[in-house]
């Protein structure tokens, strides 16, 4: 059950936009596809919706092969980035439209529209036209229209990216709560890592048409599969240092002190993921690096280049040899030009594979 | 510097700007008055006289006699009736065709670009040439239309030479010539519509037909209303093609108002009466437009557009 995507491709002429994506999405799961623009996430979603046809591969929705079905036969709902409301209809008529097509009795339609509008807090606007509403209200209408017919599957294409930051945070929690309460299988497309981290049961990070990593949010954060994932998630992103395996099995790293901090398990992983020349990367989250006094045993010496106080945390940009990286700490009296020691705790240092 | 000084300077400057504005507008105003307003008012004056240059000499004031005569002139009301039928059928048919073509061409296929351009050709041909071409094509004995009909087993028609089919024939020509104009406007409208409402409708379960009537047409309404309005006004004064093809005949079956007006004014030179008729036609067109505007809520559409 749920949604099963089997090895789908989408090609436009010689351009391959989706490159053999396969994934099983469980019933009731909140699945987020995350990636930069042009990575194929929206195209993948639109193929599930039936708005694009797959060049190759199959899509199963609730166990039925829907690869070539018309959108209207798939029993899905969708929310669009620009809301996709019918500008000629009032809010009430917008939400009612899918019910009207299903030929529900007028009284039943009215009851359902009012119930759904109430749940989304737009009961007061039922008589308005979309043009008379704010972005947040419009997105609520589009959600109401999607939810009013109790869909099994809900597809969302960057529904919050046209809203301001504050409203986005509010809508994020609302959407998550709504679809979780209703138990709807959801595929959510976004380029915003915070949305992905906060809402997803599982995140699929996409790059150039490939799903690079599919895992629960914290696992994606803690154990990024490739340098692309490590760099895309986290703000500031994970520090990555070039490394390779020497013939004797030793790790040679751009900042040797950090390479030496890899524990045995990570070394083992590094061996498995290193490319045919033995290259990989050593990754450390900025908040896991610790600043100590210069010369502390086991520390790497670094020169402070820039201190960026953000209030809650402080970013310290460091230079070791000719390698730049960043440490996130609490408030600090360090200033540019200071020399300090940096320690990478062994259990926080990761081996990260290179991207193809 | 005292504030009042700058104020007077402002005032002087503004007055200067006003003068420049008047100066810049003057040429247009003068030309408009000479070629537009003056003839209009003069024709109103003539319509109250029995002016006819072929009788020589002056004219005398007859007040509303010409207008009274018009109301009991069956020839005139025949022309008005024919023009209303002509306009209604021609505009309605070209609107339906234009919308259908726009929907068709909105599906992007290679090769459509060329076809789209070809469709616009009739609009670019001089009406006189259109008239001559169609008159030849509609010739009962030598015309290509009857030849083509013969190929599919339909007996030859008299087309514009028969009182019962002549009006439909000239309407056909008008549709042929002016559908491209409607198509141009409607197509521009349809291709600028946002995509997501249609995708939402498809996902909401609407069939293509349903989404056309529930979403495409309502969203196109402002464009359709404007295109139709322009076409109505234009169709009402159709003259050249009809004059070339039928000269109003046979048996006055295509005697549109503009053809009749031309006859009264420039064959009989009954200019007093002709001016009165012209004024009546102007009033009728205004009435038709007003009714149309009222029926379609045109002003509300305009206001909505401005509010956005």
What residues does A317 pair with on adjacent strands?
A: A306, A326
**Is the per-residue pLDDT at B183 higher than 50?**
yes
Q: Within this chain, do residues A323 and A269 fall inside the same structural domain, yes or no?
A: yes
**Pairs of residues, one from chain A and one from chain B, whose beta carbons lie less than 8 Å apart:** 69
Chain B residues within 8 A of A72 when measuring between CB atoms: 202-207
**Is the per-residue pLDDT at A67 higher than 50?**
yes
Nearest to B203 among A76, A85, A89 (CB): A76
| Yes or no, beta carbons of B200 and A86 under 8 Å apart | yes
pLDDT, average across residues B115-141? 89
Contact A303, A337 (CB under 8 A): yes
pLDDT of residue B9: 66
pLDDT of residue B3: 55
Q: Domain boundary residue among A174, A195, A222?
A: A222
Side-by-side strand order, sheet with A350-352: A251-253, A239-245, A279-284, A350-352
**Residue of A12, A71, A139, A153 best to disrupt the B interface, most CBs of B under 10 A:** A71
Nearest to B206 among A74, A101, A145 (CB): A101
**SS3 label, residue B58:** coil
**Residue predicted with more confidence, A274 or B122:** B122
CATH number assigned to the domain with residue range B73-269, chosen from the 4 options 1.10.3720.10, 3.40.50.2300, 3.30.70.100, 1.10.357.10 = 1.10.3720.10
pLDDT of residue B38: 93
Q: Within this chain, do residues A202 and A315 fall inside the same structural domain, yes or no?
A: no
Chain B residues within 8 A of A51 when measuring between CB atoms: 199, 202-203
Distance from CA of A88 to the nearest CA of B (A): 6
Nearest to A86 among B197, B202, B207 (CB): B197
Q: Is B56 exposed, middle or buried (0-12, 13-18, 19+ CB in 10 A)?
A: exposed
**Is the per-residue pLDDT at B5 higher than 70?**
no
Helix or strand holding residue B106 (H, E): helix B74-106
Contact A259, A243 (CB under 8 A): yes
Taking the Cβ of residue A71 and every Cβ of chain B, the question of whether any pair is shorter than 8 Å is answered with yes
pLDDT of residue B6: 61
| Yes or no, beta carbons of B204 and A98 under 8 Å apart | yes
What is the distance between the terminal CA atoms of chain A, rounded to a whole angstrom? 32
Q: Within this chain, do residues A335 and A307 fall inside the same structural domain, yes or no?
A: yes
Mean predicted lDDT score pLDDT of chain A: 89
Mind listing the pLDDT tens digit for each residue in B230-248?
Answer: 999 999 988 888 998 888 8
**Is the per-residue pLDDT at A326 higher than 90?**
yes
Q: Within this chain, do residues A265 and A311 fall inside the same structural domain, yes or no?
A: yes
Chain A residues within 8 A of B200 when measuring between CB atoms: 78, 80, 84-86, 142, 145
Mind listing the pLDDT tens digit for each residue in A187-216?
Answer: 999 999 999 999 999 999 999 989 999 999
Q: Within this chain, do residues A136 and A234 fall inside the same structural domain, yes or no?
A: no
pLDDT of residue A135: 86
Question: B6 to each of A354, B1, B9, B19, B264, how far by Cα in Å?
Answer: 71, 8, 5, 20, 64
Distance from CA of B191 to the nearest CA of A (A): 16
Q: Within this chain, do residues A248 and A112 fall inside the same structural domain, yes or no?
A: no
Which CATH number is A303's domain given?
2.40.50.140
Q: Within this chain, do residues A165 and A78 fall inside the same structural domain, yes or no?
A: yes
pLDDT of residue B109: 82
Kindly indicate the confidence band of residue A162, based on its pLDDT and cuts at 50, 70 and 90.
confident
Give the single-character DSSP code of A132: G
Chain A residues within 8 A of B214 when measuring between CB atoms: 86, 97
Contact A45, A186 (CB under 8 A): no
Taking the Cβ of residue A53 and every Cβ of chain B, the question of whether any pair is shorter than 8 Å is answered with no
Cis peptide bond upstream of A355, omega within 30: no
Taking the Cβ of residue A154 and every Cβ of chain B, the question of whether any pair is shorter than 8 Å is answered with no
With vertex at residue A274, the alpha carbon angle to CA A272 and CA A280, rounded to the nearest 5 degrees, is 130
With vertex at residue A229, the alpha carbon angle to CA A323 and CA A166, rounded to the nearest 5 degrees, is 100
| Yes or no, beta carbons of B205 and A72 under 8 Å apart | yes
Nearest to A101 among B197, B199, B205 (CB): B205
Comparing alpha-carbon positions, the chain A residue that sits nearest to B197 is A84
Contact A204, A34 (CB under 8 A): yes
pLDDT, average across residues A146-166? 88
Which CATH number is A211's domain given?
3.40.50.300
Chain B residues within 8 A of A83 when measuring between CB atoms: 196
pLDDT, average across residues B175-189? 93
pLDDT of residue B305: 63
pLDDT of residue B96: 95
The pair of structure tokens assigned to B56 is 């020589």
**Residue predicted with more confidence, B3 or A206:** A206
Q: How many CB atoms lie within 10 A of CB A241?
A: 21
| Conformation bin of residue A208: beta by default, left when phi > 0, alpha when psi is -120 to 50 | left
| Conformation bin of residue B221: beta by default, left when phi > 0, alpha when psi is -120 to 50 | alpha
pLDDT, average across residues A248-259? 84
pLDDT of residue B12: 66
pLDDT of residue A318: 92
Taking the Cβ of residue A52 and every Cβ of chain B, the question of whether any pair is shorter than 8 Å is answered with no
Chain B residues within 8 A of A86 when measuring between CB atoms: 197, 200-201, 214-215, 218
**SS3 label, residue A71:** helix
Q: Within this chain, do residues A215 and A237 fall inside the same structural domain, yes or no?
A: no
pLDDT of residue A30: 93
Q: Within this chain, do residues A196 and A245 fall inside the same structural domain, yes or no?
A: no
* Nearest one of B170, B166, B178, B160 to B92, comparing CA atoms: B178
Q: How far apart are CA A119 and CA A98, in angstroms?
A: 18
Helix or strand holding residue A243 (H, E): strand A239-245
pLDDT of residue A309: 92
| Yes or no, beta carbons of B196 and A131 under 8 Å apart | no
Q: Domain boundary residue among A175, A193, A222?
A: A222
**Is the per-residue pLDDT at B137 higher than 70?**
yes
Contact B250, B162 (CB under 8 A): yes
Q: Within this chain, do residues A41 and A106 fall inside the same structural domain, yes or no?
A: yes
Chain B residues within 8 A of A80 when measuring between CB atoms: 196, 199-200
Number of independent structural domains in chain A: 2
* Nearest one of A80, A25, A354, A30 to A197, comparing CA atoms: A30
Nearest to B205 among A86, A88, A102 (CB): A102
Mind listing the pLDDT tens digit for each residue in A92-151?
Answer: 999 999 999 989 899 999 999 999 998 888 899 999 999 888 888 899 999 999 989 888
pLDDT of residue B1: 44
Q: How far apart are CA B308 and CA B305, in angstroms?
A: 5
Q: Within this chain, do residues A215 and A250 fall inside the same structural domain, yes or no?
A: no
**Is the per-residue pLDDT at A262 higher than 80?**
yes
Q: How far apart are CA A168 and CA A89, in angstroms?
A: 26
The pair of structure tokens assigned to B172 is 């056909």
Q: Domain boundary residue among A165, A195, A222?
A: A222
Torsion sign over Cα B93, B96, B102, B105:
negative
Give the residue numbers spanning the domain of A274.
229-352
**Residue of B203, B215, B216, B297 best to disrupt the A interface, most CBs of A under 10 A:** B203
Q: How far apart are CA B264 and CA A319, in angstroms?
A: 97
Q: Within this chain, do residues A207 and A341 fall inside the same structural domain, yes or no?
A: no
Distance from CA of A170 to the nearest CA of B (A): 24
């Amino acid at each position: 059950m749920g949604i099963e995507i089997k090895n789908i491709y989408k090609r436009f002429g010689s351009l391959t936009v989706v490159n053999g994506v396969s994934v099983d999405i469980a019933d009731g799961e909140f699945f987020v596809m995350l990636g930069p623009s042009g990575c194929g996430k929206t195209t993948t979603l639109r193929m599930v919706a039936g708005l694009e046809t797959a060049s190759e591969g199959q899509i199963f929705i609730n166990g039925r092969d829907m690869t070539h079905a018309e959108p209207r036969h798939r029993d899905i709902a969708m929310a669009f980035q620009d809301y996709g409301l019918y500008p000629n209809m009032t809010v009430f008529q917008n939400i009612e439209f899918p019910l009207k097509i299903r030929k529900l009795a007028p009284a039943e339609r009215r009851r359902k529209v009012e119930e759904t509008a109430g749940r989304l807090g737009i009961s007061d606007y039922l008589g308005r036209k979309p043009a008379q509403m704010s972005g947040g209200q419009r997105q609520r209408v589009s959600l109401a229209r999607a939810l009013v017919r109790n869909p099994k599957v809900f597809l969302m294409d960057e529904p919050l990216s046209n809203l301001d930051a504050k409203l986005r945070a509010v809508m994020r929690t609302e959407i998550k709560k709504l679809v979780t309460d209703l138990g709807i299988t959801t595929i959510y497309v976004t380029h915003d890592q915070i949305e992905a981290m906060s809402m997803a049961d599982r995140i699929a990070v996409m790059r150039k048409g490939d799903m690079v990593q599919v895992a629960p949010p914290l696992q994606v954060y803690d154990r990024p599969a490739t340098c692309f994932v490590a760099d895309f998630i986290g703000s500031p992103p994970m520090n990555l240092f070039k490394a390779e395996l020497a013939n004797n099995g030793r790790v040679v790293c751009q900042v040797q002190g950090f390479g030496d901090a890899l524990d045995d398990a990570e070394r083992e992983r590094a061996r498995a993921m290193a490319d045919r020349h033995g290259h990989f990367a050593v990754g450390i989250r900025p908040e896991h690096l610790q600043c100590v006094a210069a010369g502390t045993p086991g520390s790497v010496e670094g020169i402070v280049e820039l201190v960026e106080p953000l209030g809650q945390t402080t970013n310290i940009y460091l230079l070791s040899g000719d390698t730049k990286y960043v440490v996130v700490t609490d408030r600090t009296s360090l200033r540019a030009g200071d020399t300090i020691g940096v320690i990478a705790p062994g259990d926080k240092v990761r081996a990260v594979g290179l991207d193809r | 510097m005292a504030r009042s000084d700058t104020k007077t300077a402002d005032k002087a400057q503004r007055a200067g700007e006003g003068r420049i504005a008047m100066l810049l507008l003057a040429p247009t105003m003068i030309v408009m008055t000479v070629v537009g307003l003056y003839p209009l008012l003069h024709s109103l004056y003539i319509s109250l006289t029995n002016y006819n240059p072929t009788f020589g000499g002056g004219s005398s004031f007859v007040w509303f006699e010409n207008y009274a005569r018009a109301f009991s002139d069956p020839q005139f009301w025949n022309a008005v009736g024919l023009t209303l039928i002509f306009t209604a059928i021609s505009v309605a048919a070209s609107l339906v065709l234009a919308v259908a073509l726009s929907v068709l061409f909105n599906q992007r296929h290679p090769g459509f670009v060329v076809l789209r351009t070809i469709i616009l050709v009739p609009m670019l041909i001089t009406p006189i040439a259109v008239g001559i071409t169609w008159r030849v094509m509609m010739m009962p004995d030598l015309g290509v239309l009857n030849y083509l009909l013969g190929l599919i087993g339909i007996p030859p028609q008299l087309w514009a030479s028969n009182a019962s089919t002549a009006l439909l024939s000239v309407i056909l020509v008008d549709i042929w010539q002016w559908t491209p104009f409607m198509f141009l406007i409607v197509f521009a409208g349809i291709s600028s519509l946002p995509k997501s409402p249609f995708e939402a409708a498809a996902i909401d379960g609407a069939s293509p037909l349903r989404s056309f009537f529930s979403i495409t047409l309502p969203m196109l309404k402002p464009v359709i209303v404007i295109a139709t309005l322009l076409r109505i006004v234009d169709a009402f004064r159709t003259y050249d093609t009809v004059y070339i093809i039928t000269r109003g005949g046979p048996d006055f079956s295509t005697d549109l108002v503009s053809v009749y007006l031309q006859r009264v004014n420039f064959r009989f030179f009954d200019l007093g009466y002709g001016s009165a008729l012209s004024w009546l036609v102007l009033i009728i067109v205004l009435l038709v437009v007003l009714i149309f505007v009222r029926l379609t809520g045109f002003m509300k559409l305009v206001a909505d557009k401005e509010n956005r």
